[in-house]
């Protein structure tokens, strides 16, 4: 299992009515990335837990996470990349993903990532993200173009967001 250690005290003890900032989402990703860089679903669960997101169970894989987000009443489906980037810049917690059967070439596992504030400097219009990679090493603060096939899979990625208090 991944590391779900608590985030720095200043983060955890934020005033309850404050909305998360984009930097707090990045800090949450940085705090658990090293321990979860080889498991995308473990990484997403490890980031979500200290943010107060209780939707996921320890055994949830990427397919389960996408299923849960699809039916979760508090999470909104984000329609396009400009909306994803705008909401990430506003401090929304955003998870993007695909189920294993949705890839152009179906695979054994789905894939989920955490989208953060920032725009790919080499390919404007594509947000930055953090992710683990089952059987490999994910990436930190990298373009989503580096984790989903741009032409075959990226157009079919699901984006879900929530504004956490």
pLDDT at 161: 97
Domain positions in the chain are 19-162
Contact 95, 115 (CB under 8 A): yes
Residue 134 is inside which H or E element, if any? none
pLDDT tens, position by position, 101-133: 999 999 999 999 999 999 999 999 999 999 999
Q: What are phi and psi of 112, to 5 degrees?
A: -135, 150
Strand pairing category for 111-119 and 127-131? antiparallel
Q: What is the pTM of this model?
A: 0.89
pLDDT of 163 > 90? The answer is yes
Average pLDDT value over all residues in the chain: 90
pLDDT of 16 > 50? The answer is no
pLDDT tens, position by position, 45-84: 999 999 999 999 999 999 999 999 999 999 999 999 999 9
Report whether CATH 3.90.1720.10 matches the domain 19-162: yes
Strand pairing category for 158-162 and 76-77? antiparallel
CA distance 71 to 51: 20
Map tokens 């695979």 to a residue. 107
Distance between first and last Cα of the chain? 27
Contact 48, 93 (CB under 8 A): yes
Other CB atoms within 10 A of residue 96 CB:
27
**Helices 40-48 & 22-36, crossing angle to 10 degrees?**
140
């Amino acid at each position: 299992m991944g590391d779900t250690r608590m985030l720095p005290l200043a983060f955890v003890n934020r005033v309850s009515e404050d909305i998360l900032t984009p930097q707090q989402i990045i800090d949450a990703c940085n705090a658990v990335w090293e321990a979860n860089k080889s498991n995308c679903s473990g990484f997403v669960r490890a980031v979500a837990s200290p943010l107060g997101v209780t939707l996921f169970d320890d055994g949830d894989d990427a397919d389960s996470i996408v299923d849960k987000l699809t039916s979760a009443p508090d999470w909104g489906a984000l329609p396009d990349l400009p909306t994803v980037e705008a909401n990430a810049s506003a401090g929304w917690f955003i998870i993007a993903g695909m189920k294993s059967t949705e890839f152009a070439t179906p695979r054994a596992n789905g894939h989920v990532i955490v989208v953060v504030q920032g725009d790919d400097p080499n390919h404007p219009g594509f947000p930055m993200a953090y992710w683990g990679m089952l059987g490999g090493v994910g990436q930190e603060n990298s373009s989503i173009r580096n984790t989903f096939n741009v032409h075959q899979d990226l157009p079919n990625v699901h984006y879900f967001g929530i504004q956490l208090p």
